[in-house]
């Protein structure tokens, strides 16, 4: 999409990250979780303090996708100690690719994913990994299409509900 631009997020991007994060997480997962669990997750994970602290982690990077002046998605990647699970110093984690449902099928997610690959290459990482909810077949297909394979599972807590994420990895060509 020629009118989609991706910019690096800064601490001044807190409200944009919160807006996209809350909206896309709710769109994607509200139908599969209780209202109480959903609200608790949104309140805790997209609070001013939480987002500001994430934006200030040296080994995490955020990028925002814009359709003209409208934020439509974002990417969060982690390396080193910022990874949610230690996969070593040669790995980059895609912690989040969030795209508003209004822009599904418009290649925004692919653009954000490709930026993660470029970032991994610039940082001289040889693998990219992520966790994706086992009940999100659309996302699983997206990652499989991009060459990821499952290598493990881990638990993601949504309120009191323990959900299983499939951990997927892709080896980058050198």
Rounded Cα distance, 72 and 17, in Å: 10
Residue 143 appears among annotated catalytic residues = yes
Phi/psi for 130 (5° steps) reads: -165, 165
Q: Spell 113-144 as b/e; 16+ CB within 10 A means b.
A: bebbbebbeeeebebbbbbbbeebeebbebbe
Among candidate residues 41, 74, 98, 143, the one labeled active-site is 143
Sheet containing 4-8: order of strands: 4-8, 60-67, 70-79, 91-99, 127-133, 161-171, 149-158
- Give the residue numbers annotated as catalytic, written as ranges: 143
């Amino acid at each position: 999409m020629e009118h989609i631009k991706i910019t690096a997020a800064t601490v001044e991007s807190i409200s944009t990250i919160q807006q996209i994060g809350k909206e896309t997480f709710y769109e994607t997962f509200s139908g599969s979780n209780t209202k109480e669990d959903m609200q608790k997750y949104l309140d805790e994970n997209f609070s001013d303090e939480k987002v500001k602290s994430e934006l200030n982690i040296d080994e995490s990077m955020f990028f925002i996708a814009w359709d003209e002046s409208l934020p439509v998605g974002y990417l969060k990647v982690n390396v080193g100690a910022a990874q949610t699970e230690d996969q070593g110093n040669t790995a980059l984690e895609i912690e989040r690719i969030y795209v508003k449902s209004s822009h599904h099928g418009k290649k925004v997610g692919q653009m954000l994913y490709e930026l993660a690959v470029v970032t991994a290459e610039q940082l001289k990482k040889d693998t990219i990994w992520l966790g994706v909810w086992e009940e999100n077949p659309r996302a699983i297909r997206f990652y499989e299409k991009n060459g990821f394979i499952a290598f493990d599972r881990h638990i993601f807590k949504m309120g009191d509900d323990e959900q299983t994420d499939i951990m997927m990895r892709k080896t980058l060509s050198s």
